[in-house]
Amino acid sequence: MTEPQQWAGVGRTETGHVRASNQDALALLNDCGVWIVADGMGGHPAGDVAAQTAVAVATKRARERAAWFREHPNAAAEFVADLVTSANWRIHDLILAKPSLKGMGTTFVALAITSSPMSIAHIAHLGDSRAYLYRTGQLTQLTRDHTLVQKFVQRGLIDAATALTHPERHILTKSLGLGIDMKPELTSSPVTPHDLIVLCSDGLTKMLEDSAIASILSHANGDPQRACHNLIEEALGRGGEDNVTVIVVACIPPTLR
């Protein structure tokens, strides 16, 4: 019988060279097979509180349901969606309790991997924090940005190149905190032992185009620690205009388990 694959993530967050504080947050729940990135909405009240609250609530919920998740891998989509909705409810509770927090919000992307009979990455997200799959030299964006500009692209009003520099490119159409009934977008993708999965805030994608991200990942030779470090350092080296957070998840070789 084939031994189930095991996955682990490496993560790092940095304030960058322009922002006064870090409104990003992340969670590395390697023991649960869950990884999370959140990016508090800049220009709004308590973006850092929103991101930290979302990650704390989702972390608690993931640990509470970890055993259930292992026993019900076919319900992985329900599991990751629950992390998002639980965090969203808590943010709205905080806003109700303290009206000065109205407008507080955060992006959110959560990844959970099931490993039997084959490994599948399950993603729930709101906003423009992204998940990527890197496989044999090819980088694929697994999430779709929930932004006004992305809607313009989908409707054919502007092209993808224009979207990169559009002045309204960071206006979100979905995030935690924007509505009590906000539903995450769910995505599932089979993954192989040689793949890397990247979660990131837009502090990375503001600084690096997908081709640069792919190049850095290709030179990491499958090492998630090296990949994460080099992605962050390159974003900082190009100006670090925003908080930048990266998680890189990889399959653990059997010899290291």
255 occurs within a structural domain: no
Count of domains for the chain: 1
pTM: 0.93
135 occurs within a structural domain: yes
CATH code of the domain in which 185 resides? 3.60.40.10
- Tokens, residue 43: 């220009």
69 occurs within a structural domain: yes
197 occurs within a structural domain: yes
Q: What pLDDT was estimated at residue 168?
A: 61
Q: pLDDT (tens digit, 0 to 9) for every residue of the chain, 257 residues total?
A: 467 789 999 999 999 999 989 999 999 999 999 999 999 987 666 899 999 999 999 999 999 999 999 999 999 999 999 999 999 999 999 999 998 888 899 999 999 999 877 899 999 999 999 999 999 999 999 999 988 666 655 665 566 655 566 556 677 889 999 888 889 999 999 999 999 999 999 999 999 999 999 999 999 999 999 999 999 999 999 999 999 999 999 998 876 66
For residue 234, what are the domain limits?
A: 7-250
Q: Which amino acid type is present at position 223?
A: D
Three-state DSSP class for 185? strand
Q: What pLDDT was estimated at residue 151?
A: 64
1 occurs within a structural domain: no
Q: Which amino acid type is present at position 1?
A: M
**3-state SS record for 113-153:** EECCCCCEEEEEEECCCEEEEEECCEEEECCCCCEHHHHHH
256 occurs within a structural domain: no
Q: Which amino acid type is present at position 61?
A: R
Q: What pLDDT was estimated at residue 253?
A: 82
**What is the per-residue burial (b if ≥16 Cβ within 10 Å, else e) of 191-214?**
beeebbbbbbbbbbbbbbeeebbb
Q: What pLDDT was estimated at residue 91?
A: 95
Q: What pLDDT was estimated at residue 152?
A: 58
**What is the per-residue burial (b if ≥16 Cβ within 10 Å, else e) of 16-39?**
beebeebbbbbbbbeebbbbbbbb
Give CA separation, 112 vs 35, 108, 190, 249, in Å: 7, 13, 12, 10
